[in-house]
Structure 1
């Protein structure tokens, strides 16, 4: 059964509208975590740490519980961000397909109009055999000239029918492709919503746990956190990892560091890419965009796709990936420090590069560093 022009156009417009809704903030798609192949081992929280532990005198246990909750939120945030990146790409592709469907239908309608005109012209000739036309013609030469034009017309009609068939096939291909991509977009939307719920669940549990602490306990807890980070940094530096580390940043690396450090003090917000707030990979990806180099949006994809370098060879602008699930990232700024967006409740800050378990180092800019 033939589908009318208005039906095709309506379908294409529906695709565009649906894509716009699906691409709106608040929905997203999931991305499987990487399988780390190297780096220092680290404790990994379960996907769902469970209910908050009762608050007592053991603030070390409270701190460990908070770390697990915020780590679980970070993993879910990375899944959300990866899904959002895919959503934007898929939405753009669907919009382009919708445009092709509209143009394809317009082309098909125009070809059908031409084919109809050709059929009507043939009908007006009465379908008389050429032999009869020759006998009845008063001027055989005019007839022969006309016959040549008829042959040309027949060939043109045949070509028109072929073009019409190809246009129909193209339109079917566009429609099938759009339907498949739309189904993928729907599946990813559901996965993104799941990731969002997980983020909110873990952050809510952590905030509830912190809210139950007295003022003095919160201060002690913050002190414990700083002391643990300082011990980790001291132990890392004690390995001599920075002994021969003197590489300078590339021009792009310098620009990325300048951008990232200029964000110090701005709040952490999951899924944020600035300019008012950031999550960890939102900060690093936008810093490199500012330096003229687009890199993957999430810490897991940065770990997967960017060139890996040894810690002893890193230079300012390189990204340090943390934890065995690559759920956190900071930018090395030199002197054993990173700039990063830690977690909810903690603004963008400068910290010791070794204050968290390092999985590895990746390099967005593979250009040669300046020589001294």
Structure 2
């Protein structure tokens, strides 16, 4: 009877420790889920910004295409208003500088998004590991409680009464 009581107490203590670990793993899981949600939101916003930058580049490229791909000196020669042509050429030069700047922004945004996606992916893996740990701890707790219950069930009614007192 004393041996059973000792074993049952030990099993309950181990189950309690496993439950504490389970609670810790649950907290870690919740924290990771919040971090992943924040990262996914950042990636979504970043993708929108990237799409806007790409649209701007597309508009600039179409404007350049509409002006034609004629050599600037020939265009100046053919132009009916050379002053107007020079104004447009200056604007196109500024447009090119804007395109270079926009391309840099697009590249930076793409790098940033790739990094955030990698970070989110790593956290998702960590979350999957935490969930697996949770399942293992839960099974461990159930097993120990089951063992304790079997030991208690093996006692006679008289031994159970004596143990309760």
TM-score after normalising by structure 1 = 0.42
Paired position in structure 1 for 2:63: 121
Taking the aligned partners of 2:93 and 2:10, their CA distance within structure 1 comes to 81
1:1-372 → structure 2 map (5 Å cutoff): 59-223=1-165
Q: Supply the RMSD in Å over aligned alpha carbons.
A: 1.8
| Cα distance in structure 1, aligned partners of 2:13 and 2:144 | 9
Structure with the bigger percentage of helix: 2
Unmatched runs of 5 consecutive residues or more in structure 1: 1-58, 224-372
Q: Is the 8 A contact 2:54 2:106 kept in 1?
A: yes
Deviation of the 1:140 alpha carbon: 3.0
| Counterpart Cα distance in 2 of 1:142 and 1:108 | 34
2:3 and 2:41 map into 1 onto residues whose CA distance is 57
Q: CA deviation at 1:198?
A: 0.6
Q: Distance in 2 between matches of 1:114 and 1:67?
A: 71
Distance 1:111 1:150 in 2: 18
Whole-Å Cα distance in 1 between the matches of residues 81 and 50 of structure 2?
A: 40
Deviation for aligned residue 1:176: 1.0
Higher relative contact order (CA 8 A, sep 6+): 2
In structure 2, C-alpha distance between the alignment counterparts of 1:216 and 1:81, rounded to whole Å: 37
How many Å separate the matches in 2 of 1:78 and 1:207?
20
Q: Is the CA contact 2:46–2:113 (under 8 Å) kept in the aligned structure 1? A: yes
Does the residue aligned with 2:155 lie in a helix, a strand or coil?
Answer: coil
Alpha-carbon distance in 2 for matches of 1:216, 1:110: 79
* Count of residues in Structure 1 that have an aligned counterpart in Structure 2: 165
Shift of 1:215: 4.0
For residue 69 of structure 1, report the CA deviation from its aligned partner.
Answer: 0.4
* TM superposition score normalised by structure 2: 0.89
